[in-house]
Amino acid sequence: MSDDARNELLPGNPESEGPLRHFRMGRRAVLQSLATGVGAAMFASTASAAHVHSAAAAAATTADAANAGDSTLLFLDRHAFDTLALLSEQIVPGSRAVQVPEFLDRLLAVESIDTQKRFMQALGAFEAEARAANGVPWKALTAEQSNALLTKISTQPDSDMSRQAFDRIKGAVADTYYSTEVGAKELGWNGSVAFAPPSSNCA
């Protein structure tokens, strides 16, 4: 097993844990993006990096101002939160009841700027699809329209940007939902048995 593969499986490796791992860029992805030129925009120069951080800081300030009247949100503005809430329920029914979008909002508030940026880009991909197809934001779609778009997006090739956004949002939502008691019970957990990790002394 390569060092990269081994590190990705280590329990203490932040790149292999948590619902937002789908939005983090691991070492292998960084090296591949640099080699192919895909990562040029992100890693071009110190000046470019400073510009990205400044833009992100400005966006965070704007979000803070938008959320000033809504103390329940820590990172997302109300429009983004409503979009995520709808997507969560559409992708994994029951997500709203166990507060998946609220959890992700709080988790995003303490994530890196790069992870926050990739999450917002993924949400933005859904917004763009909705406006292109129906001329309205995602949260204004009818159930029929959103179902049609989700079917279209989820069946695109893996290389499609909207498909990648779907996979990332779905991953974050599903990981969060199935980490709750309700989700765990859906997977077969009966609430009374806990399994200890394997002993290092086992033969």
Q: What pLDDT sits at residue 26?
A: 47
18-27, 103-112, 168-177, range with the lowest pLDDT: 18-27
Q: 152-159, long-range: CB within 8 Å, 24+ apart, which pairs?
A: 153/126, 153/129
The encoded tokens of residue 135 equal 């001329």
Sketch the domain layout of the chain as residue ranges: 55-186
Has residue 148 got a pLDDT over 50?
yes
Q: What pLDDT sits at residue 66?
A: 46
198: pLDDT confidence band, cut at 50, 70 and 90?
A: low
The reported pTM is: 0.65
70-79, 92-101, 148-157, range with the lowest pLDDT: 70-79
The encoded tokens of residue 80 equal 């983004």
